[in-house]
Each structure stands twice: as C-alpha cells, then as structure tokens.
Structure 1
Amino acid sequence: MGRTLSVAKSGDLEIVMTRSFDAPRALVFDAWTKPELVRRWFGPHGTEVLECEIDLRVGGRWRYLLRHGDGMEMVLRGVYQEIERPERLVSLEVNEDCDASEGQALAILTLVERDGITTVTQVLKYGSQRIRDAVLESGMERGVGEGYDRLAEVVAVPAGA
C-alpha cells in the first residue's frame, strides 16, 4: 500500500480504507486517541474540530464536533468496543446527522508497522448496502483522504530522529 488512500467495497456492507504512514505505530495510534492530536488532523481541508472528547476504554465514548469551511457543523460519536494498544481500535459509530439506526457503522481500525512504516486499515461495516453506498457517494473518500494527508503531517518523524 502506498501513501495515498485506497478505498474499496467489500461484500455488501463494508468499506475498506487503507493508507500507509511514515511513522511508528504507537504514534499513529496516539493520533487517533489523543484529543490534542485528533484536533490537528481529523476531517477534510478547511475543517476544524471544535470539540473532541475521548474516553479511551472499552465502553467509553468519543465525540467530535466538526465545522466545515462553509460553516456547516457535524457531530460524529461512538462507543469503544475493543482497544488493543497500539494495534487495534473497534467502535460503534454514528453520524448524528443521520438516523442513528441507519447511519451507524462498526469501525475496525488496524495498525501494522513494518520498518517504521505503519499501514492503517479501517473497515466500516454498515447495516445495509444502501447506506454503505450512500456513504461512498457522499464524497467521503475525498474527505477521508484529505484528513489522512493531514494525519501524515501530524505523525511525520523528522529525518534522523
């Protein structure tokens, strides 16, 4: 996998996103789980994370309030199902702009490090093919790709470090 985001359908219900980062796995994991780091990268260009709450424990909740460049706000939230630091995070997540039963997804984040390069794979499993396809058609790939580009900057390890 390269340094660009790969997005693919899997089965009838899943989206699989993969991207590699020039950073140790522990640092990439921290960027997903520490509010001060999430605020620096989450969302597409022009998006600000106004609120970021993370209770990093099984059963703990996370919630992000985002404001896009056009002023539109969006709330994403979830509940952690599994946490295996630094290789795996599983949460049940929902976009509050959608009907909770419709927009809910099981998100499985896996981080694998090899020779200082961490490959992140995120599988999103939706309750229906219609919702999965609507998410793909929403521009999500561009937004996630831009967020991952920002993440790459946050976790960049200076040469010789």
Structure 2
Amino acid sequence: MNVTDTLVIETPGTHAITISREFDAPVDKVFRAMTEPELIARWMGPRYLTNTEMTHDPRHGGTWSLVQRDPDGNEYAFRGVIHGEPTPELSMRTFEWLGMPGHVSLETLRLVDLGDGRTRADSVSVFTSTEDRDGMAANMTSGVVEGYERLDEILADLSGT
C-alpha cells in the first residue's frame, strides 16, 4: 500500500466497513491529529464541506460532535461517545449522523507503527444492519479519502512541532 492509498473494504452481506491508510508520520503525531479537536476540525471530511463546530473529549465517557456546512448552507451534524481510554493501540467511539438519528455504528481505530516514522491507521465501523452499512458506505468513501488527504497536510505541518 502506498502512503496515499486509502483502502476501503465493504464486504457484501456484512455489517462492517474496514478502512486502512498509511501516513508518512510517526504514531504520536497521527494520534494527536486524530484526538485534538482543533486539528480534527482541519481535516475531517471532504474539502467542499466546512467544519463549523468540533468538540472531542478523548476519555472514557467523553463525547464528540461535528457540524459541517456545504456551499449552499446545508448543515450535517454527527455525534458520539468515546468508549474506553483512547490510545494509539485502540480507540473506540460510537458514530451517529443526526440526519438519521438512532442509526449508530461502533468505530475502532488502531494505529500501527510501521517504522521509519510511518504509521498505518486501521479502522472498522460496525453497523446494526447491512442496510445501515450500505447507506453509510454510499456516501462516505470520497469523504474518507479526501479527509485523509487533508490529514496528510496537517501531519506535514506538525512535523516541525
């Protein structure tokens, strides 16, 4: 896998989506960019959306929320709860798009140290039904790919800190 490739696996008939992506940055920088609200707000989602609100309390029982606005002024809101103490080895949270309240997925994230200052992020989102998974998958791949491209830019900025 090249550093800029994002692998999205949607196995038909399952309740899960698996995403894997390598970054040219060490684990601590990737973890920081994925847990600090001001950094998350700079990369989460596709480029055409503006993140107008981002909260993230990375501790067991903490909550997170995100509001995005498109060029026409439409807003899209998401929220969830953090489960367990987030670490690079395992972070877990729920994910809910408020456009379809009650359709909640559980997301896990593992950051793998590849050596030479490189990290692979492996995430799995498990939905309550294949229908929910398919509905989310139809709209998420391009946003994940663009978001991770934006994260590459953030990580390059963090290289000096």
**Equivalence for 2:107:** 107
Counterpart among 97, 110, 119 of residue 95 in structure 1: 97
Q: Distance in 2 between matches of 1:158 and 1:62?
A: 23
Structure 2 unaligned regions, length at least 5: none
**Equivalence for 1:64:** 66
Shift of 1:159: 8.3
Q: Distance in 1 between matches of 2:127 and 2:92?
A: 14
Give percent identity, aligned residues only.
35
The number of equivalent residue pairs is 158
- Scaled by the length of structure 2, the TM-score of the pair is 0.90
Q: Distance in 1 between matches of 2:73 and 2:89?
A: 35
Counterpart among 38, 41, 48 of residue 39 in structure 1: 41
**Equivalence for 1:83:** 85
Structure 1 unaligned regions, length at least 5: none
The answer on whether the counterparts of 1:22 and 1:157 sit within 8 Å (CA) in structure 2 is no
The Cα RMSD (Å) is 1.9
**Equivalence for 2:52:** 50
Shift of 1:9: 2.0
Shift of 1:86: 2.5
Q: Distance in 2 between matches of 1:160 and 1:82?
A: 31
- Scaled by the length of structure 1, the TM-score of the pair is 0.90
Q: Distance in 1 between matches of 2:85 and 2:107?
A: 12
**Equivalence for 2:123:** 122
